[in-house]
Amino acid sequence: MDSLLVYGSYGYTGRLIAREAVSRGGTPVLAGRDERALTRQATDLGVEKRVFDLEGDVAANIEAFDAVLNCAGPFVKTAEPLVDACLETGTDYLDITGEFQVFERLRHRDEAAKNAGVTLLPGVGFEVVPSDCLAAFLHERVPSASTLTLGVKGNGPLSRGTARTFVDQLGTSGVVRRNDRLLEVPLAFDTREVDFGDGPEHTVTVPWPDVVTAAHSTGIPSIEVYAAVPSVAPHGMAAVDSLGWLLERRPVKDALERVVDATVDGPSERELATDTATVWGQVIDEATGERASARVRTPNPYALTTTAAVSAATRLLGESGETRDRVPRGFQTPASALGSEFLLALPGTERELLTAPNTSNEPEATALESDD
Ligand SMILES: NC(=O)c1ccc[n+]([C@@H]2O[C@H](COP(=O)([O-])OP(=O)(O)OC[C@H]3O[C@@H](n4cnc5c(N)ncnc54)[C@H](OP(=O)(O)O)[C@@H]3O)[C@@H](O)[C@H]2O)c1
């Protein structure tokens, strides 16, 4: 992995990713704007570093590399300067964003990326690898599907960066896709019961990026994403929504970020090794009633992000033979670039087909498919 630059490598998730890349025998160059943190990390891992911020000449700092893997979030602030530089230098771009606005912005760079011969592959983390691969897998079963519904359930603590990104997005509303258009909706505007494997659980709509990414990978025109929450949470989320005017204010966000910095640490090594997450999905052809549903189980979201990001970068760089030629240029999602089976090549993942055409429409567990 000599030609990979990992930007934001000394954050919580960047550290996991850099360590994983080196443990697989790669020599990624580590980058970011904090020279002391980078020097310590590069010395520990025995690799090189590059110190630069995203306000200066980014292109000059990345032109020697085949791919940049951006781990510095919130990505609404970091993705575009790096993407601009990648388009200028012909460098492939990957990141671990889960911010739907970032996917939507990068989607509009598709043609420029194709012209530059560059692959733009955001979202190679827990958001959106499992859900995107699941959406593509279900779409392969019902190619005429008109609706996609996804449900996500993750356990375990957040990292500081994820919590800060969450604070950064407070005051923005929810989003769903209807008839191929993104619609702004209140947070938690709809609820439903989803069976993640232990019986029905309460879920609410969340502004997850699949409303952009799954539309790209499958072409399905109507998409909603739900997340498992305790049954009191919708009231809390509705309160957050009604306080949007307040939460958009910088002093309020700054105060919340200070609370996050003082209290949020990220999963421990034990939690990384033992937590799990589940993503459920269903596609329906509303005209014929044909449907398919399935669940995927993954390790802890940060552990999954680590292996997914390094594997995606490896595939893009083509170190496993001729694969590079098969990764398309332009804006891509994990499934459109790497295929619906990419998830199952990652350790600790499994997929369970619940309902498929020509079977009962009632959920019914069938063989577990897994690479493990
Ligand atoms: N897709 C997923 O499922 C997934 C999984 C894990 C994490 N994430 C996302 O990844 C991001 C990082 O998470 P984390 O836990 O690693 O956070 P973290 O520990 O706070 O690290 C954030 C990193 O980003 C850098 N950074 C932030 N803003 C920057 C800017 N404007 N310019 C240059 N560098 C900047 C920080 O460097 P400085 O210290 O110099 O500011 C630091 O290296 C978050 O947005 C999180 O939501 C997504």
Domain with residue 213: its CATH number is 3.30.360.10
pLDDT at residue 320 is higher than 80 = no
Q: What is the mean pLDDT of residues 298-318?
A: 95
The single residue listed with the structure tokens 């292109």 is: 59
Q: Which atom of ligand 1 is nearest to the CA of 126?
A: 3
Please give the residue range of the domain that contains residue 294. 129-300+347-355
- Comparison of pLDDT for 156 and 337, the residue scoring more: 337
Q: What is the pLDDT of residue 241?
A: 56
User: Do both 223 and 272 map to the same domain?
Assistant: yes
Q: Which atom of ligand 1 is nearest to the CA of 13?
A: 16
Q: What is the mean pLDDT of residues 107-128?
A: 97
Q: What is the pLDDT of residue 170?
A: 58
User: Do both 258 and 197 map to the same domain?
Assistant: yes
Inside any domain, residue 34: yes
Q: How do residues 36-85 score in pLDDT, each as one tens digit? A: 999 999 999 999 999 999 999 999 999 999 999 999 999 999 999 999 99
* CATH number for the domain that contains residue 99: 3.40.50.720
User: Do both 94 and 17 map to the same domain?
Assistant: yes
- Cβ-based burial of 324 (10 A; exposed 0-12, middle 13-18, buried ≥19): middle
Q: What is the pLDDT of residue 174?
A: 85
pLDDT at residue 157 is higher than 90 = no
Q: What is the mean pLDDT of residues 336-358?
A: 95
First to last CA, the chain: 25
Ligand 1 mean position, distance from CA 43 (Å): 21
Q: What percent of the chain has pLDDT over 90?
A: 70
User: Do both 102 and 164 map to the same domain?
Assistant: no
User: Lowest-pLDDT range, 18-22, 176-180, 236-240?
Assistant: 236-240
Q: What percent of the chain has pLDDT over 70?
A: 81
User: Do both 53 and 97 map to the same domain?
Assistant: yes
Inside any domain, residue 360: no
Inside any domain, residue 367: no
pLDDT at residue 245 is higher than 80 = no
Which segments within the chain are labelled E, that is strand? 4-7, 29-32, 49-51, 67-70, 92-95, 119-121, 147-154, 174-178, 181-185, 191-195, 200-205, 222-228, 276-284, 291-299, 330-331, 350-355, 368-369
User: Do both 181 and 266 map to the same domain?
Assistant: yes
Inside any domain, residue 228: yes
User: Do both 37 and 122 map to the same domain?
Assistant: yes
Inside any domain, residue 282: yes
User: Do both 331 and 231 map to the same domain?
Assistant: no
Pocket of ligand 1 (CB under 6 A): 8, 10-14, 32-34, 53-54, 71-75, 77-78, 96, 98, 125-127, 159-162, 164-165, 266, 301-302, 305
User: Do both 94 and 66 map to the same domain?
Assistant: yes
User: Do both 83 and 198 map to the same domain?
Assistant: no
Report the number of distinct structural domains present in the chain. 2
User: Lowest-pLDDT range, 9-13, 197-201, 251-255, 285-289?
Assistant: 251-255
Q: Quick one: which of 264, 337, 274 has its CA closest to 302?
A: 274
User: Do both 260 and 319 map to the same domain?
Assistant: no
Q: Which atom of ligand 1 is nearest to the CA of 162?
A: 47
Looking at ligand 1, which residue's alpha carbon is closest to its atom 22?
Answer: 11
Residue 292's DSSP bridge partners are: 283
User: Do both 102 and 217 map to the same domain?
Assistant: no
Three-class DSSP category at 116: helix
